[in-house]
Structure 1
Amino acid sequence: MTIFLSEVVAVAPMCLAVSLVVTLILRYAALPKAAEQLRKPSDSEEAGPPLNSLIPSIPPSLGNDIIRMHAQDHYVQIVTTKGSSLLTEQFGDCVEKLRKLDGMQCHRSHWICLGHARDVTRKGSSYTCTLSNGDQIPVSRRRYSELKARHGFGPK
């Protein structure tokens, strides 16, 4: 029995030290993930539900801050602050799904988030909306008055 106790006393400190090191490594490895979960969402993210909950085919890596989307043949291109993606969705269905967000269809093939609209310019009889990322989107004459009323700016 004394031999057993002497071996336990000799091995126990080493086992405790190893388990403490492993615990600390695992805890600090989990900190970046926990910090990201605690990160306060931006104003655009607080405006509505997660984007991929509205349109499940949107990759989660694009985030929730949508800038615009537009129809390309039988596809829809979604542009967010984190990138863009081409979806096999119908444009009209996507517009309907995004009703909860603060945006509008400004042209037959373009939808914009009003929080990213920076300016509207007029060239001849056509209007163009400049977005926060520098994209210039056509605005139909029919939908210009709604854009002006909802965002509060006019053509230059």
Structure 2
Amino acid sequence: MACAAGLLTLAGPFGTGTRLTLLPLFLYWSVLVAACYSAGFIVSGLVARRLAHRPLYIRLAVASLGIGTLVTGLVIALNALVFGFVPALSEIGPLALVTFATAALVTLAIDTVHRAVARPEDAAPPAILDRLPLDKRGALLALSVEDHYVRVRTDAGEEMVLMRLADAIREVGDVPGLQVHRSHWVALGAVTAAARAGDRAILTLSDGAEIPVSRANLPAVREAGLLPR
């Protein structure tokens, strides 16, 4: 952020270089860069937690709208404080448009880099997969109880394992997931759709399987962002 503020101080864009001397100009850009970074960090974090399993275009739109609104307000407030300049209503639209577009590009770039460096193979596979044949080991989708067995569902197939659901859940490791029913656990990343069904809900997984959500577990599913509040 200090480097960015330094470069902007030297460049003096938007006429700021002619209005302030070097030190006040550096302080101005330092405050603006830090404030914009903080706004982006907070909004991106909230979007990542609340909408982690929504399509990219939804996350991108929400993050851009939130970041763009905050940054536009910060720019207007800081310029009013430092320069005594408040833009006319007709000038706020173009400023907001540029800010939203910039926020969208930055959010997309960060998401792309994150996906490139956070490869699934870098993480230790869940221990439950060691119980499956090699050809059935893949990304974990769901666990379901059937009699005394647990059906372990992955994107490479499924297998019945003789164990309790509670023990199977302990072996999923760091895979983000929820027990949505006394007989079912799902990996959050495997859910592609969710729909209410009376006082319950149905989750659709990436392999097309449908998993019921019990009434008692609806709050946790809403908190995970899979259903509207």
Shared fold, TM over 0.5: yes
Indicate yes or no: 2:223 matched with 1:134: no
Greater strand share, 1 or 2? 1
8 Å Cα contact 2:200/2:218 also seen in 1: no
Which residue in the other structure is 1:112 paired with?
186
**In the comparison of the two structures, how many residue pairs are matched?**
112
Work out the percentage of aligned pairs sharing the same amino acid. 29
Structure 2 unaligned regions, length at least 5: 1-115
SS in 2 for 1:77: strand
8 Å Cα contact 2:181/2:212 also seen in 1: yes
Which residue in the other structure is 1:9 paired with?
none
* Cα-to-partner distance string for 1:94-134 (whole Å, 9 max, x where unaligned): 01221421111110000111001112211222211111111
Equivalences for residues 45-124 of structure 1 within 5 A: 45-46=120-121, 48-51=123-126, 53-54=127-128, 56-124=130-198
8 Å Cα contact 1:44/1:115 also seen in 2: no
Q: Which has the larger radius of gyration?
A: 1
- CA gap 1:69/1:44 in 2 versus in 1, 3 angstroms: farther
SS in 2 for 1:148: helix
SS in 2 for 1:98: coil
1:55 Cα deviation after fit:
5.1
1:45 Cα deviation after fit:
3.3
- CA gap 1:61/1:44 in 2 versus in 1, 3 angstroms: farther
* Cα-to-partner distance string for 1:72-104 (whole Å, 9 max, x where unaligned): 010011111111101111111001221421111
- AA aligned to 2:208 is G
- CA gap 1:54/1:142 in 2 versus in 1, 3 angstroms: same
Equivalences for residues 24-43 of structure 1 within 5 A: none
* 1: CA distance, partners of 2:167 / 2:129: 9
- AA aligned to 2:120 is E
Which residue in the other structure is 1:154 paired with?
227
* Cα-to-partner distance string for 1:54-75 (whole Å, 9 max, x where unaligned): 4532222222301111000100
TM-score by length of 2: 0.44
- AA aligned to 1:50 is P
Structure 1 unaligned regions, length at least 5: 1-40
1:153 Cα deviation after fit:
3.1
* 1: CA distance, partners of 2:204 / 2:196: 11
SS in 2 for 1:100: coil
* 2: CA distance, partners of 1:99 / 1:134: 24
SS in 2 for 1:56: helix
TM-score by length of 1: 0.63
Which residue in the other structure is 2:80 paired with?
none
